[in-house]
Amino acid sequence: MKRIESINLAQLAFNIHRTETTSTHWKMLHAHAGLEFLYIYEGQGEITVERQTYSLLPNTFVCFQPFQLHRVEVPPQASGAYIRINLTFDPLLLEPYLTLFPQLNAFFRQVCKGELPRQVFHLAPNNRLALWLEEYYTVQLNEAGHNHEEQILFLIRLFQHLQQDVFPKTAAASASQRISLHIERMTEWMERNYHRPFQLEQMASELHVTTHHLSHLFKQYTGSTMTEYLTARRIREACSLLACTDKPIAEIANAVGGFGPSYFCQLFKSRKGMTPQAYRATIRHTPAINLSIP
C-alpha cells in the first residue's frame, strides 16, 4: 500500500494527533507550511531529511522545519504497530509571546529558520518529552474546541525543554542578557535584510559594532556563521515561494537575496539535493518524481 500526502497549506495553526498504523507499508514524502515535531513511540523504519537518512526507532524525536521536504518509510511491523504523535503549528502562533525571553526567542528562531546541526534525536525510554506529548494529546481529546492559552503555554514549556535537554548546547544558551540582546539584534537585522545582498559593513554600521566583533560573536554564540544562517533563511523562504506561488525561478532568486537564476539554482540544489523546479513539482505532488512502492 502507498500512503503519500502532499503539502497542506490550509491546515490549522496548531494541530496535534496520534496515529497508529498496522499491516501497512507506510511511505510518505511531504512538507508542511508549519513547524513539525514527530515523536515515535513504536515502529522501525527510515527518515530522510536534507539528503541524510536516519534510523527510525522507538523514542525517536524529529524536528522538520517549515517547507522542509522529508520522507518517512516504515515497513509492516512484525510485532506491534507504527505509533507516533505529530505536532504541527504555525511559528507565527508562538512568536509574539517570546519577545520577553531573548534566549528562548533566539533558540526558537534557530529551530524555525536557521541551520540545525541535528534534527533527529534518539531519546531514552519514558523521557519527559514523550510523556508531555501523550499527556497533552489526551487533554486535547477531552476538551471541546481549541484553548489558545493552553496551546501557547504548552509550546513555551516544550521549547524550554528542547533547548535545555534535547538540542545540542550552544554558547548562546548560557550567554549574558547583554550578549543575548546583541544576538537578537543581529538575527532581527538579517530577518529584515535577507532578501538583499549581504553587506557585513552595513550591518556593523547600523548596529554600531565592528565587523570582526559581529562575525566572532555570532559564530561563538550560535554555532554557525552569519553566511550559513542567511543561506538557510533564504532557502527556507525560497521553498515557501516555490510551494505557495507561481513566481518564476528568476523572480524568486532575486527576491531571496538578489541572486541570478543560475547561481540560485546551484545554491538551492547544493542544499536540497534537487533543483528549484524539481522541488516545486515534488511539493505539489506532480509526476516529476516516482514514489511508487514495489
Q: What is the mean pLDDT of residues 99-106?
A: 84
**Alpha-carbon dihedral 280, 282, 286, 290, rounded to 10 degrees:** 150
Compare 145 and 74 and report the one with higher pLDDT: 74
Please state which of the ranges 99-103, 169-173, 248-252 shows the lowest mean pLDDT: 169-173
Residue 291 pLDDT: 31
Q: Per residue in 255-284, pLDDT tens?
A: 999 999 999 999 999 989 899 999 998 887
pLDDT for 171 beyond 70: no
Q: Which fold has domain 177-283?
A: Arc Repressor Mutant, subunit A (1.10.10)
Compare 6 and 145 and report the one with higher pLDDT: 145
Compare 223 and 59 and report the one with higher pLDDT: 59
Please state which of the ranges 3-17, 47-61, 118-132 shows the lowest mean pLDDT: 3-17
For the chain, where do the domains classified as CATH 2.60.120.810 start and end? Answer: 14-170
Q: What is the mean pLDDT of residues 100-118?
A: 86
Confidence of residue 218 (pLDDT cuts 50, 70, 90): confident
Q: What is the mean pLDDT of residues 164-186?
A: 72
The span from the CA of 207 to the CA of 213, in Å, is 11
pLDDT for 146 beyond 90: no
The span from the CA of 34 to the CA of 11, in Å, is 9
Residue 80 pLDDT: 80
User: pTM (2 decimals)?
Assistant: 0.78
Residue 163 pLDDT: 93
Please state which of the ranges 4-18, 111-125, 133-147 shows the lowest mean pLDDT: 4-18
For the chain, where do the domains classified as CATH 1.10.10.60 start and end? Answer: 177-283
pLDDT for 89 beyond 70: yes
pLDDT for 145 beyond 70: no
Type of residue numbered 186: M
Compare 99 and 158 and report the one with higher pLDDT: 158
Q: What is the mean pLDDT of residues 93-105?
A: 88
CA atoms within 13 A on the CB side of 31: 22
The span from the CA of 150 to the CA of 143, in Å, is 11
Are 67 and 236 a contacting pair, CB within 8 Å?
Answer: yes
14-170 under CATH 1.10.357.10, yes or no? no
**Alpha-carbon dihedral 228, 232, 233, 234, rounded to 10 degrees:** 100
Alpha helices by DSSP H, the chain: 91-94, 102-113, 128-141, 148-161, 177-193, 200-207, 211-222, 226-244, 249-255, 261-272, 276-283
Reduced to 3 states (helix: H, G, I; strand: E, B; else coil), residue 277 is helix
> Diameter of the chain by CA atoms?
62
Residue 176 pLDDT: 59
Q: Cβ contacts of residue 139 below 8 Å, gap of 6+?
A: 150
Compare 78 and 162 and report the one with higher pLDDT: 162
